[in-house]
Structure 1
């Protein structure tokens, strides 16, 4: 059976609550599940409004669109897959969002060349490609920044010593965690 040409995700909260956005059916592209996004944005309820957000490995853009819907000042989406990047642009136009930009290219290269600090970073790369550790190692963050990390269960990471884990949940397949960068 052939895969559909596109799929949909639903924005959970904020000004675009219940809006549906399309994303391409691409192997390895797995939008963060609704229940996980709901948990994450409950964790972040006081930290999104006015934040500068980086959605590395954006894919469907589920996390970045959710942040925009909830009042983020700016979101930068990084997406390597050309058709996913085009769909992100179309979705921004559909929503009328002007406070976001999409960089269509390799997220690891972008992180190395753009050491800008963000208030909130989403790191949810495709599983099994060993992209998460290099992304963590490439981040430049100021104290107080929040980092959301989603990865396969059992993956061992070398985290910077100034990252304090605030929240964590795990399923059989994956783990999602929220960190805050401390001074030091």
Structure 2
């Protein structure tokens, strides 16, 4: 009689992300592989940070749907002044905290909360924001609208990643589209806040 193999708990499965360049170049950080968590691929990340190269140094960053933290940790490695991670999934937020400890980084804040609620109460201004929400929930547009009310410094850069087949999501009219690329089912865009 064969023994039944115990199925691994999917919510606790671990993967990893790699920091591409900067202070922590080559470091691999464990990430939680939870439903809806889609770490940005190295290829996309490389393109995005090529776009951002002149702007990351000393940036005050906000990673709205942090997930694995791949974008925020990459920004930190490349000289961002600080990064605030917002992640609703408690286990994913705990993993971000563990990775903060691994990197011995004291310029990181991790908040396990709803990104939209955070933005409604937020009093800070950020110069670089990452919006990479779970797909098919219309969250990119809602987050952009909340962020455009408050939370952006003058000329702030906003990176948005969303599903390429959902072109109904509209960004604020005072955000100027600087770059756009499609990779498979994902469209990623870089905007600049031009609201005076």
TM-score normalised to the size of structure 1?
A: 0.96
Q: Does 1:30 align with 2:33?
A: no
- Corresponding residue number in structure 1 for 2:191: 179
Q: 1:142 aligns with which of 153, 159, 168?
A: 153
The Cα shift of 1:84 comes to 0.2
Please give the residue correspondences for 1:127-166 in structure 2 after superposition, counting only pairs within 5 Å.
Answer: 127-139=135-147, 140=150, 141-155=152-166, 156-166=168-178
Please give the residue correspondences for 1:19-168 in structure 2 after superposition, counting only pairs within 5 Å.
Answer: 19-139=27-147, 140=150, 141-155=152-166, 156-168=168-180
> Unmatched 5+ residue regions in structure 2?
1-6
> Helix, strand or coil: the match of 2:180?
strand
> Unmatched 5+ residue regions in structure 1?
none
Which stretch of structure 1 is more off in the superposition, 133-142 or 28-37?
Answer: 133-142
TM-score normalised to the size of structure 2?
A: 0.90
* Residue correspondences, number: 184
Which stretch of structure 1 is more off in the superposition, 43-52 or 132-141?
Answer: 132-141
Deviations 1:101-150, CA, capped at 9 Å, x for gaps: 00001111101110422000000001112211111111022321000000
d(CA) in 1 for partners of 2:154, 2:175: 9
Choose 1 or 2 for highest CA Rg: 2
The Cα shift of 1:183 comes to 3.6
* Runs of 4 or more above 3 Å deviation: 1-4
> Helix, strand or coil: the match of 2:126?
coil
- Corresponding residue number in structure 2 for 1:5: 13
Q: CA RMSD in A?
A: 1.3
